[in-house]
Amino acid sequence: MLTLFYILSAITLATAFLTIFSKNPIHSAIYLVLCFFSIAGHYLMFNAQFLAIVHIIVYSGAIMILMLFTIMLMNLNKEDERDKTFLSRIAAVFSFCLLAFVLLATFIKSQPAMRQYEISGKDYQSIKVLGEVLLNDYMVPFEFASVLLLVSMIGAVLLSKKEHINS
């Protein structure tokens, strides 16, 4: 079991780095799909089958299709891209280092919550219990997420729509 964890972790890290460092955006998207599948393998190792299946359906299916459509709509050609100036590269490195410092300081300062765990006896792997929790306790955030996805889909359609010139 430990060797499977190490293999999945190596695949996850390798495909994540290949996603970042790949020059071709289509190859990056494919590496990201492989990374999502290996993360779903981690979920399966944690005995979270429902979460693994939902992760594959939502991320590897829907999100990656949207990303591929976005990449193809942007029509990224190497010939059309201008070279970045030295000043803009320095600004990007500085921004990255500042963001990394803030995240690292946040992780160092945060303390884990030390609480007593209460055993409720509910099986949160059950789809019925998960549905009850989602649609009762977390109904408002669930609806906010659905409205956000709907608005982003409408925005993507409007952005990709070509205007016809009548002359």
Domain residue ranges of the chain, discontinuous segments joined by +: 1-77, 123-160
By C-alpha distance, which of 38, 34, 32, 17 is closest to 66? 32
pTM: 0.57
Residue 22 CB coordination number (10 Å): 16
pLDDT tens for each residue of 109-161: 877 766 776 777 766 667 777 778 878 888 888 888 888 888 888 877 777 66
Of 69-83, 98-112, 141-155, the range with the lowest mean pLDDT is 69-83
Q: How far apart are the C-alpha atoms of 59 and 19, rounded to whole Å?
A: 15
| Helical H segments across 1-81, by residue range | 2-21, 25-45, 49-55, 64-74
Q: What long-range pairs does 103-106 form, CB within 8 A, spacing at least 24?
A: none
What CATH class does 1-77 carry? Answer: mainly alpha
